[in-house]
Each structure stands twice: as structure tokens, then as C-alpha cells.
A and B are shown apart, each in its own frame.
Chain A
């Protein structure tokens, strides 16, 4: 009995979707646009986080040591720093490494190499390249290294030079994420409202049919059920179209985005997270479609 009723409701909803294909197409189109917005925004947000973390990875603080500082002391400082929570990684560059890097960098410039030869000792200082977990932590790292007990061996900390970049990055990170989510929420809400209204208008067409159904003795679930099914079908179809359309769209966008944000590959990211996106997009579609049709029908079920 329940199984028969369920089959009838499913069949009835499907028929209504299929037989009114013009209306269904229009509704699905609007919902697809809305879901595109949702998908686009969620990809955008994940990508900004990615960009921020790439940029953060590029920033570091270099600590230069006096030429007479003993290597053992430098290693000691390094080990001390490694204990700190803020520190992500430390690279030790000895005087010899620094010289080698310098020569490598200027290998096409005989003048400089020549003058370097003329010095009787290596003029380059040993250094530690310190990376923090977050851009906001460089300030406190720099303060830590400015303590008196390090003054004897540390020549300079280049945090001052980087300070401007680092704090700008800090501000940018925070504001991108804040406005990104803000805009996303507003746009997503608009998209949801628009498709909600479209589904409601579609169902509005059926108000006469609903009164007929009531007159021939249809119970509330027999009326609501097919509309609910129809709304859910809108959501599933619009979701599937969105998921498919994202492939060519991202395929076109990927080279453009990659050209000014190296390391960001949209289409690869989408492919890797396709399952999550399927659940998200189809889920949102089903909820919008289902809830709006239930609300639409509720009005005509009263009295």
C-alpha cells in the first residue's frame, strides 16, 4: 500500500516535470544559474585561501650573523628557534654556502667575481632563513631575536625591510577572506531567493489543479508529494547540469588564472574535489527545490 502510493507520487511528480517541459526548462535554467554562483563562490573562496598560503610561504625572515660568530653558537640559536611554536622551518646558510650562492648568482658578471677574488677572506655572512606558520607571527619572531643576549652575534635582521610587505600581506589576507565570504553569502542568498521564487511561481500555476485534487478526495500528501518530487527533480537536474558545465568553464579559465597566479590550477582542483562538489551542489539544489515547492503548495492546501 505504502509502496504503491510512493510509486504513484514519484510517477506523478516525474510526469508533471516532463510534460510541462517548457516550464521545467525555465525553472531548471534559473536554478542552474543560482547553483553556478554557489559553486563559483565556493571555488573562489578555496582558491583565495590557497593563494594566501602560497604567498605566506614566500615570505621569510633572514637573520645575519657577524663574521666572527662561531658556527656552534649559530647552530645553538637555530635549535632554540626551532623550539618556538611560531616557527615552521629554518634553513642554515653557512658563510661557504652564501659564497657559493653569490658566485652562482653572478656567474655571468666577471667584474664582480674578479673583485671577490681580490679579497683575502669571504666577506659574506652566515644566516638563518626562518619561516613562520602565519604572516602575523613575524613581528614576534623579530622581537624575540632582538633580545640583548643575541646582540653579540647577530649583525642584522632583515625583518625591517620585509616588514611593509609582511604587514600588507597580513591585511590583504584578512580582508580577502572577510569580503570573500561576505560577498559569497550575499550572492548565494540572492541566488537561493531567486530560484526559490521561480519554483514558487511554477507551482502557482498548479493552484487550480490542487483544488481539483482536493475535490476528488486527494489527501494532503497525495497533493504535496508529487510537487515535492518535482521540486527535487529540478534540483537534481540543475545540479547535474551545473557540475557538467563547470568542466568547460574551468577549462577555459584555468590558463588565465594560472598565468597570474602560478601554482593555482582550477580544473585540477575541481577534478580532485569532484565528489565533494557533487554532494554540495546537488544537495543545495535538492534543498532549494524541495523546500520551495513545499512552501508553495502549503498555501493552497489550507482551507
Chain B
């Protein structure tokens, strides 16, 4: 469902990815491992069209992502859920409104929003704090809001870029367990992280990057740095 074909990305002189070939199947849970600066974020950005590859092609559901016109990019982004280390919530909107916003921009009806948003917030375990603003929530709770928001369009893929980077151990595992649960419900998960603990305990497929190249790709992999 996701295919990278000989992909390179060079940021004015700085090589971020080089000759990347890989495929991710539907409903897989894949970890992208590697030290900081190895190209994990770039790998994800190429898939949502935030960056364009210098060479090669990226396909999502047989569609070449970089042939999509600018005005159709919002549609692509509604097919993919994104979760970030820094949460990226709208600071002047409540948890409920943050999730609702993602539905509003997609043209959902008020009725759909009123139905789905509480359900999703319940699913990520945030039922009682729906009317809090981001600054009133802990890091773990903020990340739950972000995950609920990522789920709103029932995406086939969720890309999580160091989602636990700002969280303590306990909260980190809560978030990982939530991602596993979402994966069990049928969503593909691509998790970029350099957290050894998490990778070693997941026993799922691990693709390891170093200096922009894939150096390892194993089922039930381990963190090797």
C-alpha cells in the first residue's frame, strides 16, 4: 500500500535520504528506527507531500504522491493521520474543538461531528477532559488529543513522528498501547522513534535508518545502536 522506489532527498547540499527502497503492507505496524538526523522525519514528510523527493517515487495506494496537485493535497492529508512529538494542537481551541476542526475542514456535517468527536475522545481515553485547552492538559493527554484528531477521517495510515519524545516512560507506553490498539482495529501504523526501550519491547517490524540509508529491515527487529 505504501511503496518507496529508489528515493533520495537532498536539502540544498545536505543528504537526508539516499536510495531508499521499501514497501509497507496494509495493517502493518512498522517502526522506523535510527539516530537523530538519520532521515526518519524526512521519510514521513515525503509521504504526506510536505517535501518532494529529489529522486525516486513514493506511492500511496498506487498513487504517486508527488504528482498530486497542490489543491488536492488537503484530500491526501485527510487520508493519512499525522502525530508529532510536539503535538501540534491549535492552542486557542479545546480538545473537543481541535478534533472537531479536522472534521470541519473535511466538510463533515455538524451531526457527524457531534457523533464522532466524543466517541474518538472516549476511545483515546480523554472522555472527561474534552473541554480543556491544550495548556490545561498533560503531555500524554495532548498526544491523545492529537491521536484522536489523526483518526477522524478513518485514515488507512497513521504516521507518528517521535510521538513519545516529550513524554515520560509511563505516558509513552500508554501512547504506544493506544497505537497498537488502533493497529488492531485495522489501521496501518508507521512509527518513527529513536527510543530503544520501545522498539525492543514491541517485537514488530523495524526498519533502521542511518545517514539516510536503510541499513536493516527485520520482522520482530531490535534497536541496534
Contact = CB atoms under 8 A, between A and B. Distances in A.
Interface of A: 1, 4-5, 8, 12, 15-16, 19-20, 208-209, 211-220, 222
Contact of A216 (B75, B102, B109): B102
Interface string B108-147: 0110000000000000000000000000000000000000
B224 interface: no
Contacts of A15: 92-93
Nearest to B109: A4
A1 B153 contact: no
Contact of B74 (A12, A19, A218): A218
Contacts of A218: 74, 101, 105
A179 to B, nearest CB: 47
6 contacts: A1-B107, A12-B101, A209-B91, A215-B50, A217-B75, A219-B71
A213 B107 contact: no
A78 B166 CA distance: 97
A20 B107 CA distance: 26
A222 B77 contact: no
Interface size class of B (residues with CB under 8 A): 20 to 34
Contact of A20 (B92, B101, B109): B92
Interface stretch (B27-35, B82-90, B208-216): B82-90
A219 B74 contact: yes
Given A4-B109, A222-B105, A217 B74 contact: yes
Given A217-B78, A218-B74, A212 B105 contact: no
A218 B74 CA distance: 6
B106 interface: yes
Contacts of A8: 104
Given A4-B109, A4-B110, A5-B107, A216 B92 contact: no
A8 B102 CA distance: 12
B53 to A, nearest CB: 16
Given A216-B149, A217-B75, A218-B101, 4 more contacts: A211-B88, A216-B101, A216-B102, A219-B105
A208 B107 CA distance: 23
A2 B98 CA distance: 21
Best-buried of A208, A213, A217 by chain B (most CB within 10 Å): A217
Contacts of A222: 104-105
Nearest to A5: B107
B91 A217 contact: no
Contacts of A19: 92
B107 A215 contact: no
A217 B90 contact: no
A15 B78 CA distance: 24
A20 B91 CA distance: 11
A4 B109 CA distance: 8
A214 B48 CA distance: 11
Nearest to A20: B92
A254 B82 CA distance: 63
The 9 nearest A-B residue pairs measured at CB: A217-B77, A218-B105, A217-B78, A216-B102, A217-B74, A212-B88, A222-B105, A19-B92, A219-B74
Nearest to A19: B92
B77 A212 contact: no
Contacts of A214: 74, 77
Contacts of B89: 212
B156 to A, nearest CB: 14
A214 B93 CA distance: 16
A220 B149 CA distance: 19
Nearest to B102: A216
A215 B77 contact: yes
B90 A212 contact: yes
B90 A209 contact: yes
Nearest to B93: A15
Contact of B105 (A20, A208, A211, A216): A216
A128 to B, nearest CB: 76
A16 B71 CA distance: 25
B78 A16 contact: no
B50 to A, nearest CB: 8
Interface string B57-87: 0000000000000010011111000100000
A217 B92 contact: no
Contacts of A4: 107, 109-110
Nearest to B80: A217
A8 B101 CA distance: 9
B99 to A, nearest CB: 10
A18 to B, nearest CB: 10
A150 B93 CA distance: 87
A213 B106 CA distance: 11
Interface in B38-55: 48, 50
